[in-house]
Structure 1
Amino acid sequence: MVTFIASIVLLIVGYMIYSKVVEKAFSIDDSRQTPAYTVNDGMDYVPMSWWKGWLIQLLNIAGLGPIFGAVAGALYGPVAFIWIVVGAIFAGGVHDYFSGMLSLKHKGAQFPEIVGKYLGPFAKKSIIGVSLILMILVTAAFTAGPAQLLAQVTPLSFIGAIFVVFAYFFISAILPINKIIGRIYPIFGAVIIIMAVAIGAVLVFGNYTIPNLTLSNMHPGELPVWPLLMVTISCGAISGFHSTQSPIVSRTMKKESEGRKIFYGAMIGEGVIALIWAAAGMTFFGGTGGLQSALAAGGPAGVINEMSTTMLGTVGGVLAILAIIILPITTGDTALRSSRMIVMDAVSKWIDPDKKGTVIMATVLLGTPAFLLSMIDYTFLWRYVGGTNQITATIMLWVVVSYLLKEGRAHAHYIAGIPALFMTGVVTTYFVFAPEGLNLDYTISLIIGGALTFGVFLLYVRQIIRHKEIAAKNLVLE
């Protein structure tokens, strides 16, 4: 119990203190007009209040991610608390804030455009493919799950439910952001918040004993924490998917000072939600062994449904069904919208991105492969979503490092450089070790991952020295 409460307090304190450090590194200026006013196309660029932006951002980046991922991450034991707290404050918050604010700085630019600006044209072309693959995989993965439940609780067949879900995706992706997303997301956002608060309250005040972090129970499982925990719990700590979603909200912001509340604040909010569900997973089933059996029997959806129904009664069961249906859908629709925006930005030199026909055509072209992938086993898709997701996060952190160095803020590069090196170690080791990667021996994977990360570290140091030399020359010339 003490570890759980302390973790939530640390997240709140992290927002109050460290988010201001991150904001200072960016250097906001509310006298600059935001793209919501300078572009204002009535489609993606529409001024909205910061609290709506926060709720949209929270739902975009959360969905079932901090619930399913946190419950699966609970298998690693109380060490998951450390990763969520440290990851959200020092990695995820930095990642999300800068992905949103750099988009704002460059007229609502999409993630690949930002990568190209700070890491070069080759990186931009490469990341367009990676981003689109991630968006299509997420759209597909967040379709099959709710479709299966819809087929169970309605007369619809599984295929019919998929058609219904994709019909909503399509409509949501082609309509102005304030028509559907701006109106219903705050309501759906309330669902995920109410569920988390209610489960958290029952854990704290009910007859439950949340395990504390000790040396003996830090990690009771057999799977290696490094790097699997950092890929299993992404939403709630750091997730590259967020960098593709932040531009949706950056195009609606009224002033730059709202960024800390919207982007960093939503990441901390997601961290709190992840903490609650991770604690519930460790506690409700009597330990990681019971949780593992429950996951094997009913999957994440079954586990969430059982915990919600037992801990919250009939209301909890209704909320669980709503969450398992609604929350993934509200991630899938913005994933499709983001992929449409990425493609249209990439080809804007050759087509008119403001034409309704262009919007519809791009949505159909990107929605088709996602629709087809949703017909296969979506648990298979998640094996590839996790790794691709964290590669994207790592790239975004290196973009932030490049931005800070190029802007002459070398004193602040560490706020992104340290988590970037950490995540470089995660993704290199993961893809050498994981079954969907090279599937090598764990010890060999650690050696290779460590060597690659050290090589990146040397390149990082070289760039720091180079920028210091440039700054010194400029100072002499002045």
Structure 2
Amino acid sequence: MVSFIVSIIVLIAGYFIYGKIIERIFGIDTERKTPAVLLRDDIDFVPLPQWRVFLIQFLNIAGLGPIFGAIAGAMFGPAAFLWIVLGSIFAGAVHDYFSGMLSLRHNGLSISEVVGIYLGPNVKQIMRLFTVALLIFVGTVFLVGPAKIINGMTGDMWNLWIWVGVILAYYILSTLLPIDKLISKLYPIFGMAMLLMAIGLLVALLFGDYKIPELNPGNLRNMTTNPDETPLFPILFVTIACGAISGFHSTQSPLMARCIKNERCGRGIFFGTMITEGIVALIWAAAAMTFFGNVSELNNAMLANDNNAAWAANEISLHMLGGIGGILALLGIVAAPITSGDTAFRSARLILSDVFKSNQKKIKNRLYISIPLFVLAFSLTQIDFGIIWRYFAWSNQTLATVVLWTITAYLIFESKAYWVTLFPAIFMTMVCSTYILIAPEGFELANDIAYWGGALITLCTIILFWTYVMRKKAVSRSMKETFS
């Protein structure tokens, strides 16, 4: 219990202390007009109150990540607490803040375009394809997943594909309509429901008869059933993504960068929502470790139920929160993925509109871009859900890694403290490269070979990155001297 409480305190302190440091490094300008004001179109560029933007961003980035990912991560034991806390503060929140603020500084540009500014046109083209593919994966996962959950809750009252059609219809509306007409109305409600569910679990954990395992040297090990098949590094760091660091967040931040009224709101909205998500993930991880008795019993229960995190989340909610838990579980476990799916499609539309320089004021322009996205996503629903999810998990963390390198380049070019993202970028490069070498959906290499391979890829990445930024900085300096 002590480790759990200390972890929450450290996360909160991280927002006020490290968040302020990151804000100073970036250097906000409270007099600078934001894209919401300069480019207002009442479709995507719409000034919104800070509290509303906070709740929309929180639900955008959260979805089921801090619930399902935290439950799956809890199977590793209290080591999950350490990754959630350190990852949220020093990687996730920094990633989210800079990706959001750089979009803000570049007129609300999508993350792929921001990457291109600092890492070059070749990387930009790759990132355009990569981010749109990732967002379609997210939309597809959160199209079929919630439909299956609703179908199960209603006892197969309707055919599964009817629910898929209903959710798809909502996605179409939320992608096309102005952001203040549907999303800004529904998201605060669902966001509050998700926060209330987490607060309810926190109260139950603190005052109920639950024993949360402590984070100590004896418990800082891989507690999964088959540790050789699921090594703590790198599997844990991909399993818990949205509760620590997630590339998906950087695709969502430009949506809110187009709605923020003043740069001073950035820390609360971008850094703050990531810390909030970390706290939610911490609560769910603790609940999973204690509700079933201990970490070993959690692993047994998950194994008996096909590692179904949705089942575990439902059991925890209903039994720890009572009758009200069923309502909150319905809102959280069903609404959360839907509200990530709709903004995934909206983000994809905005990325493609940036690529094709398409003015989104006219509905026909939004339709031209959106219809192919929905057709492609629906066709992907015919593929096994598990396959899509596994590739999403890796591609999600890979995107976060590329964005961290992008921010590092920006900080170097601006002669600012680039170490705040350099070290997380190196770490996540090692995580992603090792994961794809070791995972079943990757090359399935032996652990030792994968670790050496991951280290080699990481070293090559550092050398290539450093060569590129130093060359570009030298060219920039030379041009300044020429025209001075």
The secondary structure found in structure 2 opposite 1:173 is: helix
Paired residues for 1:444-455 under 5 Å = 444-455=449-460
Would you say the 8 A contact 2:413–2:473 is kept in 1? Answer: no
Question: In the alignment, what sits opposite 1:66?
Answer: 66
Does residue 1:201 correspond to 2:206, yes or no?
no
Deviation at 1:360, TM superposition (A): 1.6
Alignment deviations for residues 278-331 of structure 1 (CA, whole Å, 9 cap, x no partner): 111111112222222322344111111111111111111221122121110000
Question: In the alignment, what sits opposite 1:435?
Answer: 440
Question: In the alignment, what sits opposite 1:286?
Answer: 293
1:266 to 273, 282, 285: 273
Query: In 2 relative to 1, CA 384–63 (structure 1 residues): closer, same or farther, beyond 3 Å?
Result: same
The secondary structure found in structure 1 opposite 2:44 is: coil
Question: In the alignment, what sits opposite 2:163?
Answer: 161
Deviation at 1:438, TM superposition (A): 1.1
Deviation at 1:15, TM superposition (A): 0.4
Give the Cα separation in 2 of the matches to 1:140 and 1:472: 46
The Cα RMSD (Å) is: 1.9
The secondary structure found in structure 1 opposite 2:444 is: coil
Does residue 1:395 correspond to 2:402, yes or no?
yes
Query: In 2 relative to 1, CA 33–207 (structure 1 residues): closer, same or farther, beyond 3 Å?
Result: same
Give the Cα separation in 2 of the matches to 1:342 and 1:465: 29
Compute the TM-score of the two structures, normalised by the length of structure 1. 0.95
Question: In the alignment, what sits opposite 1:75?
Answer: 75
Query: In 2 relative to 1, CA 368–473 (structure 1 residues): closer, same or farther, beyond 3 Å?
Result: closer
Give the Cα separation in 1 of the matches to 2:350 and 2:101: 17
Query: In 2 relative to 1, CA 303–124 (structure 1 residues): closer, same or farther, beyond 3 Å?
Result: same
Amino acid at match of 2:426: L
Question: In the alignment, what sits opposite 2:314?
Answer: 305
Query: In 2 relative to 1, CA 467–413 (structure 1 residues): closer, same or farther, beyond 3 Å?
Result: farther
Give the Cα separation in 2 of the matches to 1:473 and 1:372: 51
Give the Cα separation in 2 of the matches to 1:467 and 1:247: 26
Paired residues for 1:161-200 under 5 Å = 161-200=163-202
Would you say the 8 A contact 2:99–2:250 is kept in 1? Answer: yes
Compute the TM-score of the two structures, normalised by the length of structure 2. 0.94
1:321 to 327, 330, 355: 330
Question: In the alignment, what sits opposite 1:118?
Answer: 118
Give the Cα separation in 1 of the matches to 2:31 and 2:23: 16
Amino acid at match of 2:277: E
Give the Cα separation in 2 of the matches to 1:76 and 1:153: 29
Question: In the alignment, what sits opposite 1:11?
Answer: 11
Give the Cα separation in 2 of the matches to 1:470 and 1:415: 25
Would you say the 8 A contact 2:74–2:285 is kept in 1? Answer: yes
The secondary structure found in structure 1 opposite 2:108 is: coil
Question: In the alignment, what sits opposite 1:246?
Answer: 253
Deviation at 1:459, TM superposition (A): 4.0
Give the Cα separation in 2 of the matches to 1:310 and 1:476: 69
Give the Cα separation in 1 of the matches to 2:160 and 2:478: 65
1:419 to 415, 418, 424: 424
Percent of paired sites with the same residue: 46
Q: Which deviates more, 234-243 or 20-29?
A: 20-29
Query: Which runs of 5 or more structure 1 residues have no equivalent in the other structure?
Result: none
Amino acid at match of 1:8: I
The secondary structure found in structure 1 opposite 2:397 is: helix
The secondary structure found in structure 2 opposite 1:108 is: coil
Deviation at 1:467, TM superposition (A): 8.0
Query: Which runs of 5 or more structure 2 residues have no equivalent in the other structure?
Result: none
Alignment deviations for residues 392-440 of structure 1 (CA, whole Å, 9 cap, x no partner): 000000110111111222xx00001010001011111111111111111
Give the Cα separation in 1 of the matches to 2:360 and 2:64: 31
Query: How many corresponding residue pairs?
Result: 474
Q: Which deviates more, 452-461 or 439-448?
A: 452-461
